[in-house]
Homo-oligomer: A and B are copies of this chain.
Amino acid sequence: MPKLRVQTEEFDAGGELNLFTQSQFGMGAVVSFSGIVRDVTGGLQSLEIEHYPGMTERAIESILAEAVSRWDLGDALVIHRYGSIPVGAPIMMVATAAPHRSDAFQAAEFLMDYLKSRAPFWKKEVTRQGADWVAAQDHDEDALKRW
């Protein structure tokens, strides 16, 4: 039931949200998260995202199954891009639908926390000066402890 797409192509977050919402029945609450390439230092040109084909899908499907087993969800969606993504463009999105808002919110946060640290993606920041791998952050690993 949950939907997963791993792709290089840009996607339309609003269009995906509408399709996801229209495919629900009896769900009062829909939550979405979109991650956008953010130029923190002022010199970022793009993000290069590498992933582990095969394991990526397995890991995310297992995260989705866990979310569905923990919360009263009607459905969930994960879209994650890899390859080169320019500043301002969407990297990924998560959507959840539930009868009640607290399930939709918690499941979306859970999915995000696990995608950050347990799905095999690696980000490289490309600037005019060169390119550097983004270091994993302790607070992302710590965020898993609350679930």
Is B36 touching A21 in the complex (CB atoms < 8 A)?
A: yes
Partner of A38, one of B26, B33, B36: B26
Central interface residue in A14, A31, A38, by most chain B CB within 10 Å:
A14
Number of chain A interface residues as a range: 20 to 34
Is B112 touching A101 in the complex (CB atoms < 8 A)?
A: yes
* Nearest-Cβ distance from residue A38 to partner chain B, whole angstroms: 4
- Docked pose: A14 CA to B14 CA in angstroms: 4
Is B29 touching A33 in the complex (CB atoms < 8 A)?
A: yes
Which positions 1-59 of chain A face chain B at CB distance < 8 Å? 12-18, 21, 24, 26-40
Beyond A30-B36, A31-B31, 7 extra complex contacts between A and B, CB < 8 Å = A13-B17, A13-B18, A13-B30, A21-B90, A29-B35, A30-B33, A105-B105
